[in-house]
Amino acid sequence: MTPADLPTPALVIDADAFERNLATMAAALPGGRLRPHVKAHKCTSIARAQQGVGHDTFTCATPREVVGLARAGVGDDLLLANETVDRGRLRTMAELETAVTVAVDSVETVDAAASAGIHRCLVDVNVGLPRCGVAPEAAGRLADHARHRGLEVRGVMGYEGHLMMVADRSERRERVGASMALLLLAHEQVGGDVVSAGGTGTFDLHEGTGVTEVQAGSYALMDTDYGRQELPFEQALHLVGTVISVGDGWAVADVGLKALGMDHGNPSVVGGIVWFCSDEHLTYQPGEAVQVGERVTVLPAHVDPTVAMHDVAWLVRGGEIVDRWEIDLRGW
Amino acid sequence: MTPADLPTPALVIDADAFERNLATMAAALPGGRLRPHVKAHKCTSIARAQQGVGHDTFTCATPREVVGLARAGVGDDLLLANETVDRGRLRTMAELETAVTVAVDSVETVDAAASAGIHRCLVDVNVGLPRCGVAPEAAGRLADHARHRGLEVRGVMGYEGHLMMVADRSERRERVGASMALLLLAHEQVGGDVVSAGGTGTFDLHEGTGVTEVQAGSYALMDTDYGRQELPFEQALHLVGTVISVGDGWAVADVGLKALGMDHGNPSVVGGIVWFCSDEHLTYQPGEAVQVGERVTVLPAHVDPTVAMHDVAWLVRGGEIVDRWEIDLRGW
């Protein structure tokens, strides 16, 4: 079977590019220096491939991702790099055989974790992105409270998400350094072995900052937004669509916004210029004449939410479909 | 159980508002004058409620929606208001017991439908939105070809999607009239009993235009984008989130962009001002102090893709959860 035989829209992974991305990252951040973020792919098979190149620790954004990985037996150290006070989900995570660590940034999140039987936490520190994370100067006090509640405090985490898309690399490096200084300040008060930070956009900017592990995820598949940066990772994911209509100066493919994360804007179409997306349509201007029934290649602007809209991804090598990977970690 | 007991993010339907929306529309466009579009909710239970107020014909955007409705025994006349040349899916639709009609706008789509055993079509006409649809002057020729291939040509459809958000109502009415004149021009050449058009934004602007049925869907649940128009429908859908972090001037809820269609921009949050969405976070400025663990109400900007990101919606009446509706028509 080839991509031309797939019902569309279909999510397709270029196996060679994907494996090169994994190898490049594993060479830069081997073993536990990378804690791959599974939110970017929500796919146990991809996590297993990441494990195959040496990473046994994983980052998750939802309890569902933690529980799915653990039940599939992938990884031996799973981090929920996000806050939750959902006692049912915390209890489910606490009962897993795999070691689970959760991020905490308040007395409430500490208490919820401790009450549910969770044993390990990282103190989540605000390093400049107005989102989760305790103020650096309050991190030590929160760690004390967590230890008082019986939690092992393994260290700190901080996500410099506001810096992922800073275009100039030297400016990005400088600002990452300033963010990590805040994280290290917190770490001095918190203690523990772990200083966890970063993402694909800053994966190689943590040398000398004291960061012990990087939480990158998008590098495995990539998207057009990260593609504009000078990163050593290739576009390994695309959508295959079918041209369903040809107008006077435009064509329409069946890859609509219900198949694409739209928060970073429109996708790109190979050999054409995108006009707009509707629920089930992509209207674009083709570079040369196309016919109804032709296949079209669409590159998403943002990989994480795009993958989360699909049940399955197809692995392609040398023009042949060689595997079918379930996107099995969707939901919450 | 109440919404406060739900794991979050959770999709919640206000049963009273939903039923008022259905009643208002059924009064304006009773029975077959409305062909409810299920792409807005992808939910058999909602379609069944629409059937309960008198609509037995339905509009679908994907084969999956057609097949799901037919297998659930909902509706007696299902329209795929979209083009496809997927022979497998066309054959599956042709084998259903329910009568299925497909939109066609090219020789290729006619031939694919006829070869797969489909019996009925509407000629899809371009009425001004650069998307699918044959040029009005070419509609008659395509109808001839469809009849030659053995298809019953039931009439025409045309979607004036570019006019749904025209803010001024009299301008909207005038431009709908001009679009429908194109559709009627095509209908004169095509023949058949059906002239199908419209959506929620233009549901009451077709009197005197010759349109026999309106394809509205969003009216049942509504969103903030349609909410800005003077429409007689209420916001019946929201998301319940949980505050998971409180910062210095902001709070974070667990309703991120993987739970929200983002193509119409950010959602709204009741009692606060949205700053930005991340994959699993909504950062907002609360109007008054909030605490971790509090519930928050989020209104999506675009209902259709939002619902498509969830497995289930919870029906609430008088503060109690009275039903759990599967979003069972997702995918393609």
Mean pLDDT, residues B219-240 taken together: 95
Cα separation, A118 vs A112, whole angstroms: 9
Nearest CA distance, B83 vs chain A (angstrom): 6
Fold agreement (A3-11+233-326, A15-220): no
* Residue B59 contacts A where some CB pair is shorter than 8 Å: no
Tokens of B40: 């807005």
Q: What is the CATH number of domain A3-11+233-326?
A: 2.40.37.20
pLDDT in tens, B254-269: 999 999 999 999 999 9
Q: Mapping DSSP to helix (H, G, I), strand (E, B) and coil, where does residue A86 land?
A: coil
Chain A CB within 8 Å of residue B307 CB: no
Exposed, middle or buried by CB within 10 Å (0-12, 13-18, 19+), for A88?
exposed
pLDDT of B26 reads 98
pLDDT of residue B245: 98
Neighbouring-strand partners of residue B152: B120
Cα separation, B62 vs B83, whole angstroms? 9
Distance CA A275, CA A283 (A): 5
Q: What percent of chain B has pLDDT over 70?
A: 100
For residue B331, what is the nearest residue in chain A, using CA coordinates? Answer: A310
Query: How many Å apart are CA B304 and CA B60, to the nearest integer?
Result: 12
- Torsion angle, alpha carbons of A164, A167, A173, A177, to 10: -50
Closest listed residue to residue B24, CA positions, set B5, B50, B56: B50
* 3-class secondary-structure state, position A242: strand
DSSP H helical ranges for chain A: 15-28, 44-52, 63-71, 87-94, 107-115, 139-148, 169-190, 224-227, 303-307
The tokens describing B293, both together, are 């663990």
Q: Is B281 on the interface with A (CB under 8 A)?
A: yes
pLDDT per residue, tens digit, chain A (332 aa), is 999 999 999 999 999 999 999 999 999 999 999 999 999 999 999 999 999 999 999 999 999 999 999 999 999 999 999 999 999 999 999 999 999 999 999 999 999 999 999 999 999 999 999 999 999 999 999 999 999 999 999 999 999 999 988 989 899 999 999 999 999 999 999 999 999 999 999 999 999 899 999 999 999 999 999 999 889 999 999 999 999 999 999 999 999 999 999 999 999 999 999 999 999 999 999 999 999 999 999 999 999 999 999 999 999 999 999 999 999 999 99
pLDDT tens digits for range B174-211: 999 999 999 999 999 999 999 999 999 999 999 989 99
CATH number of this structure's domain B15-219, picked from the four choices 3.40.47.10, 3.20.20.10, 3.30.420.40, 3.40.50.300: 3.20.20.10
Task: Please state, in angstroms and rounded to a whole number, the distance separating the CA atoms of residues B86 and B100.
Answer: 15
Contact in structure between B237 and B11 (CB atoms under 8 Å)? yes
Average pLDDT for chain B: 97
CA A200 to chain CA centroid, Å, is 9
In angstroms, the CA B52 to CA B22 distance is: 10
Q: Does A292 touch chain B (CB under 8 A)?
A: yes
Name the residue ranges covered by the structural domains of chain A: 3-11+233-326, 15-220
Amino acid at B150: G
List the structure tokens of A7: 């019902």
At B220 the three-state DSSP class reads helix
- Sign of the C-alpha dihedral computed for residues B216, B218, B221 and B226 taken in this order: negative
**How many Cβ atoms from other residues are within 10 Å of residue A320's Cβ?**
11
Number of Cβ atoms within 10 Å of the Cβ of B195: 24
Query: Which residues face A238 on adjacent strands?
Result: A12
Cβ of B98: how many Cβ atoms within 10 Å?
18
**Residue B193: enclosing H or E segment and its boundaries?**
none
Rounded CA separation B171/B90 (Å): 39
pLDDT for the residue B96 = 98
CB contact under 8 A, A292 and B108: yes
Q: Tell me the chain B residues in contact with residue A83 when contact means C-beta distances shorter than 8 Å.
A: 244-245, 252, 292
Q: Do B280 and A9 touch (CB under 8 A)?
A: no
In the 8-state DSSP scheme, what is residue B280?
Answer: S
Chain A interface mutation, best of B131, B142, B275, B295, highest count of A Cβ atoms under 10 Å? B131
- The SS3 assignment for A323 reads strand
Among A108, A161, A261, the residue with its CB nearest the CB of B293 is: A108
Distance CA B55, CA B75 (A): 8
Whether CATH 1.10.10.10 fits A15-220: no
User: Which amino acid, B217?
Assistant: G
**What DSSP letter does each residue of B22-47 carry, written as one string?**
HHHHHHHS-GGGB--BGGGT--HHHH
Q: In degrees rounded to 5, what are phi and psi of residue B151?
A: -85, 140
What are the phi and psi torsion angles at B137 (to 5°)? -70, -15
Angle value at C-alpha B36, between B30 and B42, nearest 5 degrees: 150
Which parts of B99-215 fold into alpha helices (H)?
107-115, 139-148, 169-190
- ipTM of this model? 0.96
Is residue B163 within 8 Å of B172, Cβ to Cβ? Answer: yes
Closest residue of chain A to B6, computed from CA coordinates: A86
CA torsion through residues A135, A136, A141, A146, sign: positive
A 133-172 residues inside an 8 A Cβ radius of B: 133, 135, 161
Is pLDDT at B332 greater than 90 in this prediction? yes
Q: How far apart are the first and last CA of chain B?
A: 33
Average pLDDT over residues B143-152: 98
Do residues A82 and A101 lie in contact, with contact meaning Cβ atoms separated by under 8 Å? Answer: no
Which residues of B fall within a CB distance of 8 Å from A292?
83, 85, 106, 108-109
Q: Chain A neighbours among B 4-23 (CB < 8 Å)?
A: 7-9
Instruction: Specify the pLDDT at position A164.
Output: 85
